[in-house]
A and B are shown apart, each in its own frame.
Chain A
C-alpha cells in the first residue's frame, strides 16, 4: 500500500525504526541512523518522491541532541525521515545532490540552527545576513530570542559571471512598487539575463522562534500572519497540525466553513494576480477591472465575517464565525455577478494579441525542471505537475465535492495566468456546493493541549500551493518547534530558473506570474 514506507524498508531494513509519537497516525515517520540519511534519500529518489521540506529541531530539552528531518511526498503519501545528531557534533551528509530544494533548506538550517550539511555545494549563509555574529543560531534553545543582536563586519559574496559585455544589475531591497523587500542580482549581456541570484531574508522576523514563546492558542494568530495574503491557509495548516496531535475532532460544519474561507481567499488573490500580471504587460485596464472585483469580495468578507482577509477566523478546534441564511444568499448572488463579469474579462485577455505576445513563451519553467525543483501549487500545475492537497489529502468537504485541478504543460507566464483563471471558476463552483450543502451543528470544539514529546504534521493547499506545518511539543507540553514551509520556499528557486535567457524587461512579468511571498519565505 504505502510506496514510500516500502521503499525505505527495502533499502534500509531494520535500520529504519518507525515511530508512534507522531501525528497524524496515517502518516509514516521513521528514524534512521545518521549515516543512512543519504541512503534514505536515494531510496526516495528511486520511487520518484518529491522533497517537501527539510528542517532541524533542537531536542536538548527532550534529552536528545538535534533532530534533522526530511519530509518526502509521493501523491497522497507523506513520509518523514529523521536522523539524530549529538549536540557537540552537529554534522550530517547533505542530500542536495539528490533533491534540489534541499539546497536552500540546508543553507537555512545551517544558518539558523547551526547544523552542518557536509558535502553541500554552497554554504553561504541564507536568511542570516553578513552582519550577524557567526555563532548566532536563533533556533537553538540556548539562544536568547529577546536580546537584540549586535552587528559585526562581514561581506556576502554574490555569484559572479565574467566575460566581455557582461554587466550586473542590482535591484532592491526597496523596490519601485508597493511590494515586499528582497534583493535580486542580474548578470546580463545586452538585454538577455545570463544569471539571476535572489538574496532574501530582509523580512526575517524570527517567526519560527516566536512560536516557541507563544501558547498553542496564540500560535494560530501568528500563523495567520506568516504571509498576510494567505492568512486562512496558514492558520488552517497550523490548526490542523495541532488538532492531529491532540486528537481534536473538528465539527463538520466548521470544516466546511474552513473550506469556504480557503476558496474565497483563493479567488481574491487570483483576481489580484491576474490584474497585476496584465499590468506588468502594460495592460492596466485589466488591473483596475480585476482589483474592482477583488474589492467587492473583500467587502463581502468584511460584512459577513468581520475581517476583509478573514484573519483569526480559523482557530484551533474550528472557526470563530458562522454564516446565516442572509449570508448564504449574499454569497450566491455575489458569485453569480462575479462569474459573469470574470468570464467577460477573460475573453478580453484571451483575444488581446499584444498581451498574448508578452505572456506566451515568456519565463518558461519546463516540466522536468519543475519536478527537479519539487515545485508546488500554481507554479507546478502550470508546468505539468498534477499536485493539489485538496484532491490528494482532502479534508471534508473536499472528499465529497472533489476538485478539478487544471494542469498545463507550457510552463510560461500565460500558463501560470491560465491556471489561475481555471481555479477561480472552479472555486466558484466549490463555494456554491458548500453553500448549498453546508451541514448544521457546532462551529468549534475544544482543541486541547498536546502530550509531551509528540509531533504533528499537516499539509494544506493554499492559493499559492502546498503549505506544510510540523509542530513539536516539549517536555512540558509547550511549543518546542514549529516548522513552517510556505510554497514560496521551493518556488522561489523556480523563478531563478524560469527567467534565464529572457530579457531583463520581462523580469517583472515573470516575477508577477510566480508572485511568491517574501514574508512566508524569510520567516
Chain B
C-alpha cells in the first residue's frame, strides 16, 4: 500500500510540463491529431525500422514516446509488426547486410503505406556515405515520402516530419 501511495504521488509529478515546451508540442500535436483523425480514423500505426543507424535516431524516437512528448495522445503509436503498420519510420544508411530485411519489411506492410526517412543518414547516407557496406539513403532501396534531416533529428523535428507525411498523401 505504501508503494502504491508513493507511485500515485510521484505519478502526478510526471504531468508537469515546462510551459515553453508545452506550447511547441501542442502546436504540432494539435495539427497531427487533426490530420490523423481525418486520414487514419484517429489511429496512426508506425513500424520503426533500423536499417543501419548508429542508434542516435532510435534514442530520439524513444523520446517522442516519453511523458513529455507523449506522442500517443495525438493518435499515433508504434507496432511490432509491419503488417499492422500505416507508416514505416526508417533510420540509418541502409547497410548491405540489412537491405534484404528492409525490403521484406516494406513488402510486408500493406498498401497504401507511408515511408519516412529519419536522420541525415536516412536522407542521404550521412557521414557513412555510399560504400561496399553502406548503400546510402533509404530511397536507394525503397520509395520514401518524407525526409527528416538532423543528426539525429530532435523529437520536435520528428513530430513535424510525421505530420508532414500524414498531410502529404
Number of A-B contacts (CB under 8 A): 157
Q: What band does the interface of chain A fall in when counting residues whose beta carbon is under 8 Å from B?
A: 35 or more
Question: For A298, what are the chain B residues with a Cβ–Cβ distance below 8 Å?
Answer: 63
Interface segment among A66-74, A144-152, A502-510: the answer is A144-152
Mask, B18-29, CB within 8 Å of A = 1, is 000100000000
* A145 in contact with B50 (CB, 8 Å): no
| Interface status of B124 (Cβ within 8 A of chain A) | no
| Interface status of B61 (Cβ within 8 A of chain A) | yes
Q: Which of A138, A227, A231, A272 contacts B133 (CB 8 A)?
A: A138
| Interface status of A348 (Cβ within 8 A of chain B) | yes
Q: Which of A201, A210, A289, A309 contacts B14 (CB 8 A)?
A: A289
* A206 in contact with B134 (CB, 8 Å): yes
Complex CA–CA separation, A341 to B65 (angstroms): 20
5 shortest A-B CB distances, which residue pairs? A228-B56, A206-B133, A176-B80, A291-B66, A228-B54
A-B CB contact pairs (8 Å), 23 listed:
A138-B132, A149-B133, A173-B101, A178-B50, A180-B50, A202-B52, A202-B95, A202-B101, A205-B95, A205-B131, A225-B54, A225-B128, A228-B58, A288-B67, A298-B63, A309-B152, A341-B10, A344-B6, A345-B10, A348-B3, A351-B2, A352-B3, A519-B55
| Interface status of B43 (Cβ within 8 A of chain A) | no
Complex CA–CA separation, A308 to B124 (angstroms): 22
Question: For A222, what are the chain B residues with a Cβ–Cβ distance below 8 Å?
Answer: 127
| Interface status of A5 (Cβ within 8 A of chain B) | no
Closest-CB distance, A341 to chain B (whole angstroms): 8
Question: For A344, what are the chain B residues with a Cβ–Cβ distance below 8 Å?
Answer: 6, 10
Given A202-B101, A295-B63, A348-B3, A225:B127 Cβ within 8 A: yes
* Apart from A181-B101, A295-B63, A344-B10, 6 more pairs, CB < 8 Å: A143-B132, A146-B132, A178-B58, A226-B54, A292-B66, A308-B60
Q: Which of B7, B92, B132 contacts A203 (CB 8 A)?
A: B92
Q: Which of B58, B60, B133 contacts A205 (CB 8 A)?
A: B133
Mask, A126-160, CB within 8 Å of B = 1, is 00010000001010000111111100000000000
Question: For B130, what are the chain A residues with a Cβ–Cβ distance below 8 Å?
Answer: 146, 148
Which A residues from 282 to 296 make CB contacts under 8 A with B? 285, 288-289, 291-292, 294-295
| Interface status of B68 (Cβ within 8 A of chain A) | yes
Question: For B57, what are the chain A residues with a Cβ–Cβ distance below 8 Å?
Answer: 228
